[in-house]
């Protein structure tokens, strides 16, 4: 290993990325580096560990990060050079993100509790591709040798975001009423951005498994991009059934709204002809 090592984040988005999404991703990588440095005795406190941007390349987005070596304890440096730190930190990021590959874990593979901030960081790091499509790659570059650590497609990024957002909600609201993979039918839909807060929403839908009446639909901040994902390519979204995960809000046992925290696809609404064909089978 050598001291010219960097962690490279390579992003090839299908659509332009919002500046706020990119800066949030970088901020979460910096925060994870601080936690990594303290947990591995590379720094006494998070303020002593900083992740620096060494270069940004045009075209597709290439951002090179380096750990701030001079802040590390003098007793560490003879045994651990920057190349080794970069590699270990890259592996830490891979393990954290892949915790959310299939579900919403409460602990990592070392038995440490997954925190709300960990969930937020995974959302932030993967959201640029989850929202905009494309690919995202983490590489370590050492002595001119590039090693791929993790590659994420748009579909995989969406899964990471959904699972991390769900885990965050479960940590914040462990007693929340949650329904998974329920069929939702839109009854009123505003083409503007998803509503994430406030007392009312212009979007209303029926989830018959929960309530036969149309109720207001909100999205979590992390999942607000899902509204465009659900309806952006359809001329008439009222003709489809959408399969979603929702948190159900109630007042005095009466359902008042749904908050979408996951999306599993859609299919056309059954027609009268479909019912007639079923009866003849």
HEC string of 40-60 equals CCCCCCHHHCCEEEEEEECCC
pLDDT at position 273 is 57
H-helix or E-strand spanning residue 129: helix 116-132
Task: Render each residue's pLDDT in the chain as its tens digit; 281 residues.
Answer: 456 789 999 999 999 999 999 999 999 999 999 999 888 888 888 888 888 888 887 667 889 888 875 445 544 444 567 888 899 999 999 999 999 988 777 767 666 788 999 999 999 999 999 999 999 999 999 888 899 999 999 999 999 998 898 888 888 877 778 898 999 999 998 877 778 777 788 999 999 999 999 999 998 887 788 787 777 766 788 889 999 989 898 888 899 999 888 888 889 988 755 544 544 44
Kindly state the tokens that stand for 102: 């299939």
pTM of the model: 0.77
H-helix or E-strand spanning residue 29: helix 19-39
Tokens 């992740």 correspond to 51
Q: Is residue 20 classed as helix, strand or coil in its secondary structure? A: helix
Please state, in angstroms and rounded to a whole number, the distance separating the CA atoms of residues 167 and 169: 5
pLDDT at position 233 is 66
Q: What angle do CA 180, 184, 186 make, to 5 degrees?
A: 150
Q: Provide CB contacts within 8 A for 73, sequence distance 6+.
A: 41, 42, 43, 44
On the 0-12 / 13-18 / 19+ scale of CB atoms within 10 A, 62 is middle
Please name every residue paired with 251 in a beta bridge, in sequence order, or none if there are none.
254
Q: Provide CB contacts within 8 A for 269, sequence distance 6+.
A: 185, 239, 240, 241
pLDDT at position 278 is 46
């Amino acid at each position: 290993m050598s001291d010219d090592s960097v962690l490279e984040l390579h992003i090839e988005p299908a659509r332009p990325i919002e500046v706020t999404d990119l800066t949030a991703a970088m901020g979460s990588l910096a925060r994870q580096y601080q936690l990594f440095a303290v947990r591995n005795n590379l720094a006494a406190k998070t303020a002593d560990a900083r992740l620096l941007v060494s270069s940004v390349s045009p075209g597709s987005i290439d951002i090179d990060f380096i750990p701030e070596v001079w802040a590390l304890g003098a007793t560490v440096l003879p045994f651990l050079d920057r190349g080794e730190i970069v590699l270990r930190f890259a592996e830490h990021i891979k393990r954290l993100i892949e915790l959310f590959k299939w579900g919403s874990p409460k602990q990592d593979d070392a038995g440490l509790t997954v925190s709300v901030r960990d969930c937020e960081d995974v959302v932030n790091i993967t959201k640029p591709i989850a929202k905009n499509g494309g690919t995202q790659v983490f590489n370590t570059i050492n002595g001119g040798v590039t090693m791929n650590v993790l590659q994420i497609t748009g579909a995989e990024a969406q899964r990471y975001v959904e699972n991390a957002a769900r885990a965050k909600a479960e940590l914040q609201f462990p007693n929340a009423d949650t329904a998974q993979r329920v069929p939702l039918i839109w009854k009123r839909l505003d083409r503007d951005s998803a509503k994430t807060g406030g007392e009312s929403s212009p979007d209303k839908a029926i989830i018959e498994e929960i309530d036969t009446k149309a109720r207001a639909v909100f999205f979590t901040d992390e999942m607000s991009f899902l509204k465009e994902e659900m309806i952006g390519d359809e001329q008439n979204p009222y003709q489809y059934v959408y399969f979603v995960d929702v948190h159900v809000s109630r007042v005095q046992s009466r359902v008042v709204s749904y908050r979408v925290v996951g999306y599993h696809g859609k299919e056309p609404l059954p027609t009268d002809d479909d019912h007639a064909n079923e009866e003849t089978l």
